[in-house]
Amino acid sequence: CMIDYKAADHLLKDKVILVTGAGDGIGRVAAKTFAAYGATLVLLGRTISKLEAVYDEIEVAGGAQPAIYPLNLEGATHKDYVELGERLGETFGRLDGLLHNASLLGKITPLEAYHPELWQQVMQVNCNAPFMLTQGVLGALKASEDASVIFTSSSVGRRARAFWGAYAVSKFATEGLMQVLADELEHTGTIRVNSINPGATRTQMRRKAYPGEDPQSLLTPEEIMPTYLYLMGADSRGVTGQAFDAQS
Ligand code: NDP
């Protein structure tokens, strides 16, 4: 489903929200947007200089002081995620929002030629890391009165296409992870879990996947934010286990 939504000014006031891959593309804009609606952001990513730039942009815009959490999802282990959960607990006492946004595209190539090492890297970043991260911060999510977990899918995570390899498979797995978690947490009544397919969006990843395309023909990350705001804020309370499209 796709939604037509206008967020109220203080939709995310006092919310603590973690965004993965917050240094670039959709994650960067989502972090800035959530901050503009009142949230305190935890900016997680692998390139510190990019996270620092987003930190500065949020501060300049008058948002609440964010936290930077450098982590490479490719190499991170269970221990790192347990530590992340503990740090969130100590610093904020809870986590109200989690946007699993970071992903690797891998290579657009036939399965016959897909390098097994690259396959594992893509599955690690796109699917195993979101599982382990969620596990590590679940205690903090349970401590929130109203929490939202958003996974990032793709159109090839709903109907696969030739040459999309590990990326497509990882996005199917992401939808599965979303559904299992939503079902397990439905009884809490306080943690909703959904997925968003952003649709074709003007970022580095899209450019890498479609080098011949005119970026100006695509929506910007800013333009797809209504779905992210709807799912992150209290207006989506009670909505769980659903797959959303940010574009028609
Ligand atoms: P970008 O490649 O522009 O940004 C991805 C972000 O994830 C970057 O900040 C990147 O960090 C980070 N990241 C990648 N690998 C790791 C890692 N190992 N550890 C930590 N952070 C990492 O992608 P988009 O903004 O386009 O994509 C965002 C999400 O939307 C992804 O899940 C993607 O699959 C999905 N999507 C995007 C579409 C599009 O058209 N753009 C369409 C459908 C789905 P760094 O900056 O350091 O590289």
User: How distant is the alpha carbon of residue 210 from its chain centre?
Assistant: 22
Q: For ligand 1, is residue 43 a contact (CB within 6 Å)?
A: no
Let me know if residue 111 belongs to a domain: yes
- What is the number of structural domains in the chain? 1
Let me know if residue 144 belongs to a domain: yes
Q: For ligand 1, is residue 24 a contact (CB within 6 Å)?
A: yes
Let me know if residue 11 belongs to a domain: no
Let me know if residue 4 belongs to a domain: no
Q: For ligand 1, is residue 53 a contact (CB within 6 Å)?
A: no
pLDDT band at 177 (very low <50, low <70, confident <90, very high): very high
Let me know if residue 46 belongs to a domain: yes
Cα–Cα distance for residue pair 104/112, rounded to 1 Å: 20
- What number does the ligand 1 atom closest to the CA of 218 have? 40
Residues spanned by the domain of 61: 16-245
**Whole-model pTM over 0.95:** yes
Q: What is the pLDDT of residues 18-59, one digit of tens each?
A: 999 999 999 999 999 999 999 999 999 999 999 999 999 999
Cα 101 to ligand 1 centroid, rounded to whole Å: 6
Q: For residues 86-113, b (16+ Cβ closer than 10 Å) or e, as one string?
A: ebbeeebebbbbbbbbbbbbbbeeeeee
Residue 61 belongs to domain with CATH number: 3.40.50.720
Q: Give all strands (DSSP E) within 135-190, no chain letters.
A: 147-152
Taking the chain, what is the end-to-end CA distance rounded to the nearest angstrom? 9
Cα–Cα distance for residue pair 143/106, rounded to 1 Å: 36
230 is catalytic: no
